[in-house]
Amino acid sequence: MQKEETTGDHQEFDEMYRRTQAEIYKFIRYRVADKELAKDVLQETYYVAYKKWDILCEHSNPMGWLINTAKNKIRELNKSLKKIECEVDLDADEYTFTEDGYGKSELDLIITKGLTEEEKNRFYKYFLHGYSISELAQLEKTSENNMSVRISRLRSKIAQNIPDESGIDKKYKKSVRIDKKESCT
């Protein structure tokens, strides 16, 4: 008798999972930038739901219960990420060097040279932390198309700051080419 109840409960849980998991994932994904972390939060949310199935199946608003559980799991994730940030100072000068001899702080200076604070923030979020264009657009309260243009302009600005192998600045190379064309005519 109890085995049949457990099987029935398991089937009810599976049905509830199939019905709600896409919406819960969207809720989590909107708040967690990294897809893998969002999947982890989703899994932990349903793990808690499975463990507390007797409470959840009797709850008047199971979807609300799942969303609150997801919120709590996101808070736990944020706390653990902040703890990691405190343990590893991300802004500390590192003396690790790349193959071409540039250190991390030198690369940061070259890449972010001439960028406003807003552009630096956008650069770190998009290129280093993996925010999508739609997520950045929502954060900055603008359209995705506008954000796409901003990212494109940011790429161009950064590209101008990076010297090529010869050490000649790209701005200088462009002006040399223009001069050559002008002298040929």
Which amino acid belongs to residue 67?
Answer: I
Spatial neighbors of 77 by CB under 8 A, at least 6 apart, are: 32, 37, 40, 41
Spatial neighbors of 53 by CB under 8 A, at least 6 apart, are: 9, 13
**Cβ–Cβ under 8 Å, residues 110 and 161:** yes
In this structure, the number of other CB atoms found within 10 A of the CB of residue 72 comes to: 14
User: What's the CA gap between 78 and 15, in Å, rounded?
Assistant: 30
Which amino acid belongs to residue 45?
Answer: T
Question: What are the pLDDT tens digits along the chain (185 aa)?
Answer: 444 445 667 888 899 999 999 999 999 988 888 888 899 999 999 999 999 999 888 889 999 999 999 999 999 888 887 766 555 444 554 444 445 445 556 666 767 777 888 888 888 888 778 888 888 899 888 888 988 888 888 888 887 777 665 444 444 444 333 333 344 44
**Cβ–Cβ under 8 Å, residues 63 and 70:** no
Domains and CATH numbers, the chain: 2-87 (1.10.1740), 104-170 (1.10.10)
Which amino acid belongs to residue 78?
Answer: N
